[in-house]
Structure 1
């Protein structure tokens, strides 16, 4: 039984680790947003930007090291990988900002409910971008 579970883990290791670290990233995003917005009193969009910056930094490091086990060599490759990550996260970050602005500031829906729902969509899109574009295994790495 333990061996079957271990083999399943190994088979789906990347997805499992992405969900674990994606969960931590989402938690960081939501907690930082909530602290900025509700404890400090910062407006919705600036709170969301602060939360995005901190969660993207955490996500890059954990995705690179633990999830996709990227072994970039050279400073140029590292910069390219990091910029690709940030650009893709910026796209989903802008989507998150639009969702939060429209649903919270315009429609006056619950900011915490919308933050959670928006993050679900962001997680899925970020995995696709990371898997297919940013940390895609080269033929010689597979």
Structure 2
């Protein structure tokens, strides 16, 4: 039994090391989504127009995402003011593009289809997280190796 458990833990550790980036991205992506949904929900309860609530929640979620992605997920090696500013600009520009995608999904669900805005906020978050990972991995925090 102990040998089996040892093999299991070794295999689990290997998987965690191999997929560290994806696991951390999912964890911090989930937390980013939670930030977005909580802020959006609070603004919704204060009767903010849904697009204004959307962009306010987006701004705070992007700030959280940048800080966590740079440090823990992609372990950015960018140093120097110009490199960090370029990375930051690229991150926010990519998030603006996916923010527009999320806004369009919200418009489709809420304005065009006249459905629940809270449900459509969750739906758009799924699309945005996937697009953000690809942009971050292959364009923003790409390895210099």
Unaligned runs of 5+ in 2: 1-7
Alpha-carbon deviations, 1:39-86, whole Å to 9, x = none?
A: 211000000000000000000000000000002110100000000000
Q: What is the match of residue 4 of structure 2? A: none
* Equivalent position to 1:127, from 97, 113, 133: 133
Q: What is the match of residue 88 of structure 2? A: 82
Q: What is the match of residue 42 of structure 2? A: 35
* Bigger mean CA offset, 16-25 vs 93-102: 93-102
Q: TM-score, normalised by structure 2?
A: 0.93
Give, in whole Å, the separation in 2 of the partners of 1:49 and 1:118.
13
Deviation, structure 1 residue 102: 2.2
* Bigger mean CA offset, 93-102 vs 50-59: 93-102
The number of residue pairs the alignment matches comes to: 138
User: What RMSD over aligned residues (CA atoms) do the two structures have, in Å?
Assistant: 0.8
* Equivalent position to 1:47, from 37, 41, 53: 53
Question: 3-state DSSP class of the match of 1:109?
Answer: coil
Say if 2:142 is the partner of 1:136.
Answer: yes
Deviation, structure 1 residue 105: 2.3
Alpha-carbon deviations, 1:76-123, whole Å to 9, x = none?
A: 000000000000000000011111122112321111111111110100
Q: What is the match of residue 59 of structure 1? A: 65
* Larger Cα-atom Rg: 2
